[in-house]
Amino acid sequence: MLRREDVEKMGPTAGCPACHEQLLGEAQMGTPHTETCRRKHETTMSREEESRFKRAFDSLRQEEEETMRRNNANRQANEERELEKKRRMEELSGE
């Protein structure tokens, strides 16, 4: 079901009585959108959904990549600390 907000956002379809009624604030239950109107809005909404999901997926992928970078940096820092500890222990045991 198309809401007034949908029609305002995507624009009314020429010749569609339901779009016209919704924009005038006089929507009547049972006034159908034309087949052309439904197809137009379904296509537009489908594209918007795909775009929304793509943005969400891209955002999650970026977060995952950032987490991996941080984890790698932390792992490297831990390895360097362990090497430094080992070096100090060897120095102390050699004295």
Round the average pLDDT of the chain to a whole number and report it.
87
* Model pLDDT, residue 50: 81
User: Whole-angstrom Cα distance, residue 82 to residue 79?
Assistant: 5
* Model pLDDT, residue 48: 83
SS3 content of the chain, % helix, strand, coil (to 5): 80, 0, 20
User: Whole-angstrom Cα distance, residue 34 to residue 28?
Assistant: 14
Q: Give pLDDT tens digits for 8-38.
A: 888 899 999 988 888 888 766 778 889 999 8
> Is pTM, for the whole model, over 0.85?
no
All structural domains of the chain with their residue ranges: 4-93
* Model pLDDT, residue 31: 82
